[in-house]
Amino acid sequence: MLGQLHDLDLHLLRLFVSVVECGGFSAAQGELGLSQSSISQQMARLETRLGYRLCSRGKGGFKVTPKGERLLTATRGLFESIEAFRHQSNGVAGRLIGEVRLGLSEALDQSVLQRVAGAIRRFRERDESVRLELISAMPGEMERLLLQQRLDLAIGYFSQVQSAFDYRELFTETQHLYCAPGHPLFTDDAPDDQALQACDRVDHPYRFLRNDEPFQGKLCSARSEQVEGTLAFILSGKHVGHLPSHFARSWEDKGLLRSVRRGDMSFDVAFHLARHRAQVAGDAQKAFEEDLLAAFA
């Protein structure tokens, strides 16, 4: 009885199949390149390993036993499975597999989303079988997920103080200071610094961690981590705050927002592609990161 299969067993089983398909020991000599005695010895060895007769040979000619027939069916199935495994394993060698999780900041510009889509398209044209997951989150949350290795890559406006991360700058986003109808600055074409300091601004925490933002108003009774929350405070007519120019544009066009001292109250925010440098990147992650960098080049 066979316990574990060894290379020798596979060799003997292949010989058995060839003998049966050729119709006997004598006929199999040319196919196998072996003498009849050598074939007979190896068949006897296989039968000893199995513990039962596979075929009878004598005056009545060559004939496969019932157990031999069952083994023949099983052996052909085995070799078909081995061949299928060989093809699949060879295919896996050059194929990207697994999962890639990408974190995305909120309220991204349309052009940025188009570049991300371009990276996805480029990646899907590779030989791959990868599950891609996009997760929208705030920068602080994305950094936490990166530290926990629950994200592979993240695009956002990060503090860049995490020594555990590698950062690659992708693009910049312009922020303007805005107010809305009902606010004193909405009808003031050129408010001075004193008028600005009297304004109640919206604090958008964590976002930039800069000391040189152009507006450092001390009066601050509103706080929001989301762009939409900042917009709601501004639209109330009681607060001023910074918003991405692309996000505020449609509201400006409707006359519901107005930028305040555009230029000297504006600044740019750098967005980076971040990853945990201690996380071992798989081939799929490396390829997707490469496609992202190419899309933003």
The pLDDT assigned to 57 comes to 77
Dihedral sign from CA coordinates of 234, 235, 239, 240:
positive
pLDDT of residue 31: 79
Please report the DSSP string for 119-170 in residue order. HHHHHHTSSEEEEEEEEE--HHHHHHHHHTTS-SEEEE---S--TTEEEEEE
List residues bridging with 131 in a β-sheet.
99
Residues of the chain with CATH 3.40.190.290: 100-297
Residue 136 β-bridge partners: 104
Q: Which of 115, 148, 159, 51 has the alpha carbon at shortest distance from 296?
A: 115
- Within 8 A by CB and 6+ apart from 126, the residues are 96, 287
pLDDT tens, the chain, 297 aa long: 566 677 878 889 999 998 998 888 888 888 788 888 998 899 999 989 888 999 887 776 889 999 999 999 999 999 888 877 876 666 566 789 999 999 999 889 999 999 999 999 999 999 999 999 999 998 889 999 998 889 999 999 887 777 889 999 999 999 999 999 999 999 998 899 999 999 999 988 755 555 566 777 789 999 998 899 999 999 999 999 999 999 999 999 999 999 999 999 998 989 999 999 888 888 999 999 999 999 998
Q: Shortest CA distance to 105 belongs to which of 56, 162, 143?
A: 143
- Where do the CATH 1.10.10.10 domains begin and end in the chain? 7-93
According to the CATH classification, is domain 100-297 in 3.20.20.140? no
Is domain 7-93 given the CATH code 1.10.10.10 in the classification? Answer: yes
Output the pLDDT for position 87: 66
Pairing of strands 258-259, 222-223: unpaired
The model's pTM is: 0.69
> Which of 37, 46, 41 shows the shortest CA–CA distance to 17?
46
State the pLDDT at residue 91.
58
| Contact indicator for 170, 140 with CB cutoff of 8 Å | no
CA dihedral 222, 226, 232, 235 (to 10 degrees): 90
Q: Which residues contact 252 (CB under 8 A, 6 or more apart)?
A: 258, 259
Question: Scanning the structure block, which residue is given the tokens 């991405």?
Answer: 244
